[in-house]
Amino acid sequence: MHLSEITHPNQLHGLSVKQLEQIAQQIRDKHLQTIAASGGHLGPGLGVVELTLGLYQTLDLDYDKIVWDVGHQAYPHKLITGRYPDFHTLRQQNGVAGYLKRSESRFDHFGAGHASTSISAALGMAIARDLKGEKHKVAAVIGDGALTGGMALEAINHAGHLPKTNLVVVLNDNEMSISPNVGAIPRYLNKMRLSPPVQFLTDNLEEQLKQLPFSESLTPELSRVKEGMKRLAVSKVGAVFEELGFTYMGPVDGHNISELISAFKEAHKHGGPVLVHVATVKGKGYEIAEKDQVGYHAQSPFNLETGKKNPSGKPKPPGYSKVFAETLVSLAENDPTIIGITAAMATGTRLDLLQAKLPKQYIDVGIAEQHAVTLAAGLACEGMKPVPVIYSTFLQRAFDQIIHDVCIQKLPVFFALDRAGIVGVDGPTHQGMYDIAYMRCIPNMVLMAPKDEAELQRMVVTGIEYDGPIAVRYPRGDGYGVPLMEEGWEALPIGKAEVLRQGDDVLLIGYGAMVYPAMQTAEILSEHGVEATVVNARFAKPLDTELMLPLANKISRVVTLEDGCLMGGFGSALAEELSDRGFSPTLLRLGVPDQLVDHASPDQSKAALGLMPAQMAERILKRFDLRETSRELAEQR
């Protein structure tokens, strides 16, 4: 059987181990060819090929439920659940999603793009099954990196309290999240990987006892001896999980299909909460990815033979993440109170630069955004200047801590929200659409966003110097190539905007990544005889009402431009101020409407939302009926 013939995972049932190994190689080949051509997550999926095939030999996915944590490790799952013919469209507009998605396949039982959710979701499914009197199996696959997230531990605590609820948790232990794991739990798991498998140790003991003379007379004692030996072994290996109410099995070789099938069958047979500890190698089967597990967690298109990225042509400007990190490092070199904090995203946020240069001023807390924020609050209490650098989409997980632990106490914590706005191919789970709205409503919070990478440098200084809660949002990707300063940056005055262009016909107020598009839109309008004033807002809170309100009152046609959700966003902030102050200009808010933005390139997403400069110019002309009056406006001038 060839991988291309598999449209249902049950077609794997009954195949020999040799046949499954052939399918495993075909999965790896297809996976590598696809990611090399179009980019995507590489290492996670390569590491779970045998795990997937072994587990699915013991499941009937017409009835049984499987929950994959995060989902970027589930590419093999996609390839055996009917998506092989379309797999070449992975992470492309209208193509196969990069994460699991309930609307994409009936075999995607739970969708997620954030870590540590799988055990909670699977336990919910198991409890629902029992309440309905059904008998199907429920399994969750979670990586050891995701196990550093508090939510996973909360779910383990709850599941262990339900000894009659059948649930299999597969711990995919590859010693990695994106970067090497940190913390006591990964260190404990590493010791477990080096210990003998508990289940097979006790089975061997039973076989040896049976060889003794008069072994039949020992039968009543055999189970007690076996259990005692198991407890002794578990005391060194799976004690924590056993004490939490789980039956522990493993470690199992995650690339031995025969062992995996045996372990999973035993786990389903046992009943109650069972944890199967599977040791895997991230990037398995592609030597280059095995040697560089951080670099090949995910890749842009690359040469499969050399592993090198495909040439992109002319040199690119530095990315926002790198500019932020390099500026922070420069400041931290002269200020030992500055502490950078990441939640397992050192390379993504480029805080790896701080780690390399000033390791004592760098903290990685694992996949634990809530802890990261409250840790920062504790540091701030003691006179430090903590800087949690967290993707916008991930900071959503710490909303309560931002309010309760930072803003109520007015602590000087500087939040850096990387990958804010439209992020592209990762899709709805990773879009940074909501931070303006969810941060703006919190008292004592200051919000800012740079128009380019040079202004970001000044905002880093502003955030460090400000004596209270403050946040900066900046987009994914490269800057504009504007000149950068190496030192001597000055802080910005809090709540002060700037005028970039003068015009009497319409007022365009851009925020952050939409300032340059606002300028481009103004140029297009000018071609139609409509002249615009363009303002770089810089701050969403507090707004520069001294500048904006008189301009709005004078020009009377106002447009706000943002790359976040319109509901509660930057445009809403200005609308509230205008209304509260009794101003009544005609207002057009351009941004992301009340809808999810699917995976596509950023420009494709913006085009679908009508946020490209030519589209915005057309919307402005139509909204203010300026196309017909543009000649009159030109004549009046």
What confidence score (pLDDT) does residue 121 get?
95
Secondary structure of 376-429 in HEC code, one letter for each residue = HHHHHHCCCEEEEEEEHHHHHHHHHHHHHHHHCCCCCCEEEEECCECCCCCCCC
φ, ψ dihedrals at 140, nearest 5°: -125, 140
Question: Which amino acid is it at 468?
Answer: G
pLDDT in tens, 139-175: 999 988 888 888 999 999 999 999 999 999 999 988 7
Q: Report the alpha-carbon distance of residue 577 to residue 580 in Å, rounded.
A: 5
Helices (H) and strands (E) in the chain, counts: 26, 19
Specify whether the backbone of 245 is left (phi greater than 0), alpha (psi in -120 to 50) or beta. Answer: left
Confidence of residue 540 (pLDDT cuts 50, 70, 90): very high
Locus of tokens 């059987």: 1
Question: 292 vs 620, which has greater pLDDT?
Answer: 620
User: In this model, does residue 216 exceed pLDDT 90?
Assistant: no
The distance of Cα 135 from the centroid of its chain, to the nearest Å, equals: 34
DSSP secondary structure string for all residues of 148-187? GSHHHHHHHHHHTT-TTS-EEEEEEE-SBSSSBP-SHHHH
Domains plus CATH for the chain?
6-195+248-291 (3.40.50.970), 196-236 (no CATH), 324-473 (3.40.50.970), 498-636 (3.40.50.920)
Half-sphere exposure of 136 (CA within 13 A, CB side): 17
pLDDT in tens, 455-483: 999 999 999 999 999 999 999 999 999 99
Look at strands 385-391 and 338-342 and give their pairing: parallel
Tokens matching residue 277: 């500890």
What confidence score (pLDDT) does residue 426 get?
85
Q: What is the pTM of this model?
A: 0.86
User: In this model, does residue 205 exceed pLDDT 60?
Assistant: no
Q: Select from 229, 275, 277 the least CA-distant residue to 250.
A: 277
Q: Report the alpha-carbon distance of residue 104 to residue 77 in Å, rounded.
A: 13
Mean pLDDT confidence for 392-415: 97
pLDDT in tens, 2-20: 999 999 999 999 999 999 9
Name the least confident of 406-410, 453-457, 631-635: 631-635
Q: Report the alpha-carbon distance of residue 73 to residue 297 in Å, rounded.
A: 10
φ, ψ dihedrals at 454, nearest 5°: -70, -40
The distance of Cα 402 from the centroid of its chain, to the nearest Å, equals: 19
What confidence score (pLDDT) does residue 235 get?
45
Q: Report the alpha-carbon distance of residue 478 to residue 319 in Å, rounded.
A: 4
Tokens matching residue 130: 């029992």
DSSP secondary structure string for all residues of 321-367? HHHHHHHHHHHHHT-TTEEEEESS-HHHHTTHHHHHH-GGGEEE--S
Q: How many C-beta atoms surround the C-beta of residue 561 within 10 A?
A: 27
User: In this model, does residue 43 exceed pLDDT 90?
Assistant: no
Percentage above 70 pLDDT, the chain:
88
Mean pLDDT confidence for 43-69: 92
Q: Report the alpha-carbon distance of residue 324 to residue 165 in Å, rounded.
A: 48
pLDDT in tens, 375-389: 999 999 999 999 999
Q: Please give the mean pLDDT across all residues of the chain.
A: 88
pLDDT in tens, 560-577: 999 999 999 999 999 999
CB 564 within 8 A of CB 436: yes
Q: Select from 230, 235, 231, 284 the least CA-distant residue to 255.
A: 284
Dihedral sign, CA of 439, 441, 443, 446?
Answer: positive
Q: Report the alpha-carbon distance of residue 341 to residue 331 in Å, rounded.
A: 15
Quote the DSSP letter at residue 311: P
What confidence score (pLDDT) does residue 207 get?
60
User: In this model, does residue 177 exceed pLDDT 60?
Assistant: no
The distance of Cα 93 from the centroid of its chain, to the nearest Å, equals: 19
Positions marked catalytic: 282, 369, 397
What confidence score (pLDDT) does residue 237 get?
54
Percentage above 90 pLDDT, the chain:
66
pLDDT in tens, 341-351: 999 899 999 99
What confidence score (pLDDT) does residue 184 get?
61
Confidence of residue 424 (pLDDT cuts 50, 70, 90): confident
What confidence score (pLDDT) does residue 95 get?
87
Q: Report the alpha-carbon distance of residue 289 to residue 396 in Å, rounded.
A: 31
Look at strands 498-501 and 532-536 and give their pairing: antiparallel
Q: Report the alpha-carbon distance of residue 10 to residue 625 in Å, rounded.
A: 60
Confidence of residue 42 (pLDDT cuts 50, 70, 90): confident
The CA-atom distances, in angstroms, between 603 and each of 308, 419, 424, 446 are 26, 15, 8, 29
Mean pLDDT confidence for 50-54: 94
- Residue 346's contacts (CB-CB under 8 Å, 6 or more residues apart) are 179, 352, 355, 364
Locus of tokens 């879009």: 431
Secondary structure of 105-129 in HEC code, one letter for each residue = CCCCCCCECCCCCHHHHHHHHHHHH
Helix orientation angle between 219-236 and 198-210, rounded to the nearest 10 degrees: 150
Confidence of residue 219 (pLDDT cuts 50, 70, 90): low
Q: Report the alpha-carbon distance of residue 56 to residue 54 in Å, rounded.
A: 6
Q: Select from 96, 79, 87, 82 the least CA-distant residue to 7.
A: 82
User: In this model, does residue 289 exceed pLDDT 80?
Assistant: no
